[in-house]
Amino acid sequence: MMNDLMRYRRQMLLPEIGWEGQQRLMQGHVLIVGLGGLGCPVAQYLAAAGVGTLRLVDGDEVQEENLHRQILFGDADVGKSKVEVARERLCRLNPHITIEVVDAYFDETNFEALARDVDVVVDCTDRFDARLLIDHACRLYDLPHVYGALYRWQGQCSVFGLRGGARYVDVFGTQVCSAEVPTCAETGILGPLAGLVASVQAGEVLRLLATGNSPLAGVLWIYDLWRHRPSQIRYNHRPITGNVPPVEKSIQIEGKRVKQLTGQSLKEVLSDGRVLLLDVRQPDELPRVERSGVMAISLGELPHKHHFIPEDKKIVPFCRKGLRAQWAAQWLVEAGYEVLGYFALESENVWFDEASMD
């Protein structure tokens, strides 16, 4: 035991950590969602600091073009599972901690099992839909959400939801997905910026575990590494205003426009017997739509269950507001299916009018 603690002595010298804080770190259980430019250094620092259990979630493989910022991985790892390589490296870095790995994306099918028994969730993903799901999970289990995000030379960090404090969607709204911005793959990203933001995230996780507090609760921290301009914005009260883009009535997938169908165009589309309406809502969402030509596979289940879709069908995914249907359309087109359009149950009352459907 003493040998274990020797390695943490320099951080235990900090009066804010001390022996008791170190004990709390060693009992801590932290979920890290995403092992990219943020997740790699976060995992390294938390492992080195002796956080008792790290649960790493990422379904991707190591890619050469990400090595410049995913500094847990090297050339020989390209093509291997990120979480498996990470487990090996982190166990070598600190064999006294427990590393749990989940070789899957954080999605609607697994978020409950992954989040329910941890103390903190570290948001290191690169997708808005995953960030919304992390927000949802943290709300469900009353967990602090240590957020980090990057755009070119700029990074953001915050601790959402600490002891009932405002959460991600309270600040940015639920429509972040409709404001899809270019990804790191399209805009470029510098490794040290990811390291900087990851360091802030890891620092807040350690402080949360050791002391229960964070000065970034209620504050969005922003840094511009190009201009060396720091900024902080408080968010704890008041409704927050801004601009929300209009809900798109069509989306661009692989160079083609895929339209949101209105009641009338849906009726025309349905006259083609080869059309399959695909309900991508969760199984418990009401009202259920049970008629011929409708199949239900929730968005999160699509990658596992899409083979149930007959190959000769033209597909029209739908959900309540149309957003998940857009994502489903995107996934289906990329998987090689023919998608005629998508549909939002809420947008047209005509859906429930059987006459217009037949």
Task: Provide the binding-site residues for other proteins, judged by CB under 8 A.
Answer: 34, 36-39, 123-128, 131, 148-152, 154-156, 171-173, 175-176, 178-184, 187, 189, 194, 220, 222, 224, 227, 231-235, 238-246
Q: Which is nearer to other proteins, 18 or 173 (CB)?
A: 173
Task: Kindly state the tokens that stand for 43.
Answer: 């995992």
The Cα 188–Cα 265 span in angstroms is 40
Q: Which is nearer to other proteins, 96 or 152 (CB)?
A: 152
Indicate the helix (H) or strand (E) that contains 45.
helix 39-48
> 110 and 134 in contact (C-beta within 8 Å)?
no
Task: Kindly state the tokens that stand for 86.
Answer: 């990470």
Shortest Å distance, C-beta 240 to other proteins: 4
Task: Kindly state the tokens that stand for 150.
Answer: 């990057």
Distance in angstroms between the alpha carbons of the first and the last residue of the chain: 73
Shortest Å distance, C-beta 101 to other proteins: 18
By CB atoms closer than 10 A (0-12, 13-18, 19+), residue 141 is middle
Task: Kindly state the tokens that stand for 349.
Answer: 């009352």
Shortest Å distance, C-beta 226 to other proteins: 9
Q: Which is nearer to other proteins, 245 or 273 (CB)?
A: 245
Shortest Å distance, C-beta 151 to other proteins: 4
| Nearest partner of 261 among 178, 199, 317, 194, judged by Cα | 317
The Cα 60–Cα 101 span in angstroms is 12
Shortest Å distance, C-beta 267 to other proteins: 30
The Cα 16–Cα 37 span in angstroms is 28
Shortest Å distance, C-beta 115 to other proteins: 18
> 259 and 250 in contact (C-beta within 8 Å)?
yes
Q: Which is nearer to other proteins, 234 or 288 (CB)?
A: 234
Shortest Å distance, C-beta 163 to other proteins: 19
Query: ω before 287 within 30° of 0 (cis)?
Result: yes
The Cα 314–Cα 295 span in angstroms is 12
The Cα 344–Cα 297 span in angstroms is 16
Task: Kindly state the tokens that stand for 8.
Answer: 């943490």
Q: Which is nearer to other proteins, 318 or 327 (CB)?
A: 327
| Nearest partner of 194 among 45, 5, 297, 8, judged by Cα | 45
Q: Which is nearer to other proteins, 21 or 155 (CB)?
A: 155
Q: Which is nearer to other proteins, 235 or 351 (CB)?
A: 235
Shortest Å distance, C-beta 57 to other proteins: 13
Q: Which is nearer to other proteins, 29 or 127 (CB)?
A: 127
Q: Which is nearer to other proteins, 234 or 305 (CB)?
A: 234
Shortest Å distance, C-beta 172 to other proteins: 4
> 208 and 144 in contact (C-beta within 8 Å)?
yes
Shortest Å distance, C-beta 155 to other proteins: 7
Q: Which is nearer to other proteins, 50 or 148 (CB)?
A: 148
Alpha carbon 276 to its chain's center? 29
Task: Kindly state the tokens that stand for 116.
Answer: 């329910």
